[in-house]
Amino acid sequence: MSGVEEVRLNLGHIELAAHLFGPQQGIPVIALHGWLDNANTFARLAPRLHGLRIVALDLAGHGYSDHRPVGAGYALWDYAHDVLRVAEQLGWQRFALLGHSLGAIISVILAGALPERVTRLALIDGVIPPGAGPQDTAERMGMALQAQLRQGGKGKTVYPTLELAVQARMQGMVAVTREAAELLAQRGLMPVPGGYTWRSDSRLTLPSPLRMSEEQALTFVRRIACPTQLVVAADGMLARNTPLLEQLPFKLEQLPGGHHLHLNDESGASLVADCFNRFFAIS
């Protein structure tokens, strides 16, 4: 990709990789990808956004970023802490957030927890984490602890060829196009004896020991003080959740496409870019 700079950010507790897009004096934006994806999720979108200085992170445990130490987990608040450390490293007291899926959820958590730090929120098909009823909290914790114990001896899937690894990503929990899978594979795959495996930390697939209720999660939404634009993918994860969408005090725009509409093809990337360019241009 032309005009993209690769950097590593040492945050003290972890080192993260990132792509830099846009003019140095542009509006500061930290971009956060979805679960098991990486910074290349913004490879089609970021070059189409005008006047923004975008730092697209590989979140901890993803892409070229470090994995968390043995015994540590991947809680939403830990990701939010990482983002604050990145902002500190860059000297950004205030910044915008661009997030897809898990990245959108982290963005909402951070902007609700510290509303004074975030200038704008641009969200793609993600808002709050999946909720849980209070009655199953103890049971969920038990399942998660058991899964952590079992994780130790598990090896990762090795694909004999790049093609098979790309096909596996195309048919993942959320299907993506071949082009999208190939872009994610550029940062996500590594050679190992016998073929290729995904770089992502296998602990990312463990169940969360603790989930917020929807009511708790919505407290973050209500504290957000900055302009917020949410792109809802017509065939994505949010479109059918009308009760949630009706509660959101955000600007909503529904666009055609699946959950990765900004990455799946050029036309989807253009539509999302048009929406966000209008949003960031409003003074």
**Which residues are the active-site residues?**
101
Structure tokens at 143: 């399942």
Give the CA radius of gyration of the chain. Answer: 18
Q: How far apart are alpha carbons 181 and 102 in whole angstroms? A: 18
Does residue 137 come out as left (phi exceeding 0), alpha (psi in the -120 to 50 range) or beta?
alpha
| Token pair belonging to 14 | 């972890």
Burial of residue 97, with CB atoms counted within 10 A of its CB: 0-12 exposed, 13-18 middle, 19 or more buried: buried
Exposed/middle/buried for 138, CB within 10 Å: 0-12, 13-18, 19+? Answer: exposed
3-state secondary structure of 223: helix
Q: At 180, is the secondary structure helix, strand, or coil?
A: helix
Answer positive or negative: Cα dihedral of 68, 190, 37, 52: positive
DSSP state of 69: P
